[in-house]
Amino acid sequence: MSGRAQFSARMLDRIAQTDSTFTRQGGSWVGKCLICGGPLRFDAATGEGADIEHIMPRSLGGSHDLRNLGVTHRRCNSEKGRNWDGGRRRRRDPERYQTMVERLLAERARRWREPQRDGRGNA
């Protein structure tokens, strides 16, 4: 697995740990997509089966803070990125875009759970 893939897998694991809809079932995380709310299962070791959603995109000042990140279906993340974050629809209807971002941030906050700490104080 490449360095980027390992980073993504670790981030997906950390995000799932802080999302109350996700539970660990064997080698997988099972929960709900942040965007559509549909069922989502992904491999905990590789991240295969999910994408990381930057609710407020990095290109618009968003960060890698866990409260700005969610676990999504690939198609949901791709659709948001292509249709909204990329610009044309966002520029044409900025109020609708802002409403969508606020809804996703509120849903992420609603699902938030504090990460478990290991014996070394790490999340």
Phi, psi of 94 (to 5 degrees): -60, -30
Q: Within a domain: residue 123?
A: no
Higher pLDDT, 119 or 13: 13
Instruction: Give the tens place of pLDDT for each residue, 47-77.
Output: 999 999 999 999 889 999 999 999 999 999 9
Q: Rounded to whole angstroms, how far apart are CA atoms 67 and 65? A: 5
- Average of per-residue pLDDT across 13-29: 97
**What is the residue range of 8's domain?**
3-111
Q: Within a domain: residue 63?
A: yes
Counting the structural domains of the chain, the total is 1
Q: Within a domain: residue 118?
A: no
Q: Rounded to whole angstroms, how far apart are CA atoms 69 and 62? A: 9
**pTM > 0.75:** yes
Q: In the chain, pLDDT over 90 holds for what percent of residues?
A: 75
Q: Within a domain: residue 83?
A: yes
The per-residue pLDDT for 5 is: 73
The per-residue pLDDT for 117 is: 67
